[in-house]
A and B are shown apart, each in its own frame.
Chain A
Amino acid sequence: MFSINVHYFASFRELSGVDSELFEGEVSTLNELYEKLSFKHQFSLPANMIQVAVNDEFASMNDLVVNHTKVVFIPPVAGG
């Protein structure tokens, strides 16, 4: 079983209501992790429009999840 420290940014933080949370469960890719959390928090953005970072470095949604890492999901931000 994986234990992942998940952090949120911008609209994800608003929808989830938390800055970060511990994910515990079975999961293979970051994409799958995002889908599971989207279902839980009602995130509506498709996975190919967002950015993800693992241990503070940009990663791809297709990368495999590594146990005990910090994962940050970042929605695109346009305003200005």
Chain B
Amino acid sequence: MFSISDVTLNRDELHGTLANTTAGAIVVFEGWVRNHNEGKKVSSLEYQVYKELALKEGDKILSEAKEKFNLHQVMCAHREGHLALGDIAIWIGATASHRDDAFKATRYIIDEIKHRLPVWKKEHYVDQKAEWVFCRHHHHHVHFNEADFYKKQEIVTNQAKLREARVLVVGAGGLGCPALINLAAAGVGLVRVVDYDTISISNIHRQFLYSPNLVGEKKAVVARSRLLELNPFIEVESITERFSPEHLAGIDLVLDCTDNMATKFLIHDACFKFATPFISAGVFKSEGQVRTFIPSKGCLRCHGAVTPDDSLLGNCNDFGVLGATTSVLGSIQASEALEFLAYGANSTSESTLYLNLKTLTQLRIKHSARPDCPVCKGDVELETCDLEVESIGEARLIDIRNLSDEEVKNLNFTGKVVLSCHRGVRSRKMAEVCRSQGHQHVFSLKGGATSLA
């Protein structure tokens, strides 16, 4: 599917391999060698490819596109060696039943190739010395100098500390979008984004990384590509799963930008277990709160708090919120993160900030650690947030085979509840529905009742 060629690419031949009567559309993208770049006159190009790795990564990108966009077939050829003006540098063709899929897939493939393929490009110019251009980042950035990017912030932070920092942001929604933009723009060396959700049209008024043409896409994937466009000098990783403690591996600081208590308390407990500092925020209408948690300053369990039931609380989707509100709170999280990373301390580790954006008043509550609190010392049992469980444990099992969807939705969900059906397909769907209604302690039995026998 993916090939690298050291001779001129033949577009008719490539096109011919994709001919198919069941496909309704083909979209072809060709990248050409043009005669100018960044104001310089280009005479020819030279590509060097780390072939072993590029072939593997190229095939991976094409498989991803094929699965993501329901493609019939997909083909991509990349040149190496010396190319003249007008030559085809890359050829991508994607066939699908629907044109929209084919358009999106081609776009996805070229973007991913630009980011991920180990390819180096040397430009030969008409009137100056040839130079190597860093191809793994977007073309319009390549001639910029990293130090210039941070010129206006270097006296207010410690850029070297930010550059070596590895930050995990859980939730790329109303709080996560502004937090991510600020962290990426400031030059945090590695940003890892965790979000399992897809973009919906009602997210966009407060989730400024997204736009209507991206509805249905995975938030974490879109966030990654937007952030790399914004700052090509950093690394961004995307994980399209629910938060799990293994996402903390190698991380210096976590930002909890989630919108439900089950995940918030899982992040809380996991961060204390693995001694990772984290900054949590929450929003209620025009009020919000921000707290940085570090082990010596106490935890939420110091004073006996249990994980609240989300169905008693509601979230932004239920009570309504303005993008102006979430973006202030998410930006405060980022500002506190940058302070902590650069200087090792910040204000919200000493006391929680409660901010009212209607009255513009604030309240600060001082932290203290209970000396004998086991959670502060990392002694804590983690609850799972996964939708599916393999055993029932302490939970209550409810067989939904003889219940209608409406009856399932109106069940009594106090405590941990596991739904089961014949094979675990419908119970998974219904558990998802119940979670979206705020019942975060509803699970589905993997494999269904047959797995218990």
User: Residues of A at under 8 Å CB distance from B?
Assistant: 7, 9-11, 44-45, 48-53, 56-62, 72, 74-80
Contact = CB atoms under 8 A, between A and B. Distances in A.
B365 A80 contact: no
B176 interface: yes
A77 B304 contact: no
Contacts, number: 104
A50 B236 CA distance: 36
Contact of A9 (B171, B287, B326): B287
A9 B171 CA distance: 24
B305 A80 contact: no
Given A48-B306, A77-B289, A80-B175, A53 B365 contact: yes
B306 A56 contact: no
A58 B298 contact: yes
B364 A76 contact: no
A77 B366 contact: no
Nearest to B351: A56
Interface stretch (B93-101, B224-232, B311-319): B311-319
B269 to A, nearest CB: 15
A56 B351 CA distance: 9
Among A7, A53, A59, chain B packs the most CB atoms within 10 A around the CB of A53
Given A9-B363, A58-B298, A80-B316, A45 B304 contact: no
Interface stretch (B258-266, B417-425, B427-435): B258-266
Nearest to B283: A79
A75 to B, nearest CB: 7
B288 A45 contact: no
Contacts of A57: 365-366, 368
Contact of B287 (A45, A60, A61, A77): A77
A56 B282 contact: no
A61 B351 CA distance: 19
With a 10 A CB-CB cut-off, give which of A10, A57, A61, A77 has the most chain B CB atoms: A77
Given A58-B298, A58-B365, A79-B316, A49 B257 contact: no
Contacts of A58: 298, 302-303, 352, 365-368
B212 interface: no
Given A10-B285, A49-B305, A53-B365, 9 more contacts: A11-B284, A50-B305, A51-B300, A56-B365, A58-B365, A74-B354, A79-B174, A79-B315, A80-B175
Nearest to A9: B354
Contacts of A53: 365
B277 interface: no
A29 B310 CA distance: 27
Given A53-B365, A77-B287, A77-B288, A59 B282 contact: no
A57 B351 CA distance: 8
A60 B304 contact: yes
B312 A79 contact: no
Contact of A79 (B259, B302, B303, B368): B259
A50 B303 CA distance: 10
28 contacts: A7-B363, A9-B363, A10-B287, A49-B305, A49-B312, A51-B303, A56-B366, A57-B366, A58-B303, A58-B352, A58-B365, A58-B366, A74-B289, A75-B313, A76-B313, A77-B282, A77-B284, A77-B289, A77-B313, A78-B260, A78-B310, A78-B313, A79-B314, A79-B319, A80-B175, A80-B258, A80-B259, A80-B281
A12 B288 CA distance: 14
A78 B315 contact: yes
A45 B368 CA distance: 24
B354 A80 contact: no
A45 B308 contact: yes
Contacts of B261: 76, 78
B308 A76 contact: yes
**Which 3 pairs between the two chains have the least Cβ-Cβ distance?**
A77-B282, A79-B316, A80-B175
Residue of B257, B329, B365 most packed against chain A (CB within 10 A): B365
Contacts of A77: 282-284, 287-289, 313
A74 B364 CA distance: 12
Interface string B249-278: 000000001111100100000000000000
A76 B282 contact: yes
B308 A80 contact: no
A80 B306 contact: no
A58 B173 CA distance: 29
